Amino acid sequence: MVIALQRASSIPKTYFLNIPALNVLEVLPEPPHDDSSKNKDLFFLKGALATRTHKQVARAEEATTDSVFDFAQVIGPGFNEKDLPVTAELFKKVHRDTKIAITAAKEIFHRKRPFSWRDATGALAKKGYAYPSGHTTRAFLWSELLVNLFPEKEKEIKEEARQKAWNRVILGRHYPDDVYGGEIFGRYLSQEFLKNPQFQEEWKKVHQEVDDFKKKSPTAFIVPVSRDTSESDANSLPEAAPSL
């Protein structure tokens, strides 16, 4: 069903995505509506909040910077804006398109944030819908594209995306179903980008830039062994939403 998107009075201009043509309701399952499903989703959220540690919260708060270059933690210090300007510029365009797509999807479902959202302050307290999770959508979109760039880092990149997703539950910003929807939507959007001819042309330049930098600085994409991976809970994200 694309009608809800087509009714929008003004859709911002995008670089690669055709927002009205996105098959949101064909891709995303609807969030829980019946009491049983809602209660199950709430149960998982409360469990995450009750068992979270100070270290997990601090790490999750730090991760709210929400940049594709956060993945440097698992790719290596060479993955940064300064050394990869072509890559950085393309991901800025991807970020903008994705933000518009996420807003359009949320406007279809109108799912309210969890009760814990009211505890947020400042910029985090602004109103907004919960489903699908924007942070999670971006995390899985980025992970799909980054695995295309760094196939040798596939396991680490995907685990980092899952950690980013679960952070949203740890902070009480989203229900598990919201991040599950974000995972699906992020993977879907990655395919929409990759099949766009203009994106393909710019993506080739990104590949070339990364390959050239790998040759120039072979150690730039080696993660220091001192990286703290203790208390990782990336695998806490269910393989499927608890209500499905």
Write the CA distances from 138 to 36, 48, 54, integer angstroms.
29, 22, 25
Q: Which amino acid is at 168?
A: R
Half-sphere exposure of 20 (CA within 13 A, CB side): 9
Q: What is the per-residue pLDDT across 136-160, written as a single tens digit (0 to 9) for each? A: 999 999 999 999 999 999 999 999 9
For tokens 């699908």, the residue is 132
Query: Is the whole model's pTM more than 0.85, yes or no?
Result: no
Closest residue by Cα to residue 185 from 31, 14, 10: 31
Give the relative orientation of helices 85-109 and 197-216 as an angle to the nearest 10 degrees.
140
Whether 237 and 179 have beta carbons less than 8 Å apart is answered as yes
Sequential DSSP letters for the chain: --HHHHT-S-PPP-SS--GGG--HHHHSPPPP-SHHHHHHHHHHHHHHHHH--HHHHHHHHHGGG--GGGGHHHH-TT-STTT-HHHHHHHHHHHHHHHHHHHHHHHHH-PPPPGGGGG--GGGGS----SS-HHHHHHHHHHHHHHHH-GGGHHHHHHHHHHHHHHHHHTTSS-HHHHHHHHHHHHHHHHHHHT-HHHHHHHHHHHHHHHHHHHH-GGGG---TT---TT--GGGS-SS-TT-
Q: What is the per-residue pLDDT across 88-115, written as a single tens digit (0 to 9) for each? A: 999 999 999 999 999 999 999 999 888 6
Distance of CA 20 to the CA centre of its chain: 21
**CATH class for domain 36-222?**
mainly alpha
Q: What is the mean pLDDT of residues 78-93?
A: 97
| Domain map (residue ranges) of the chain | 36-222
Q: What is the per-residue pLDDT across 14-35, written as a single tens digit (0 to 9) for each? A: 999 999 999 999 999 998 877 7
Measured in degrees and rounded to the nearest 5, phi and psi for residue 54 equal: -60, -35
Mean pLDDT of the chain: 84
State yes or no: cis peptide before 132, omega within 30 of 0. yes
Q: What's the pLDDT band for 36 if we cut at 50, 70, 90?
A: confident
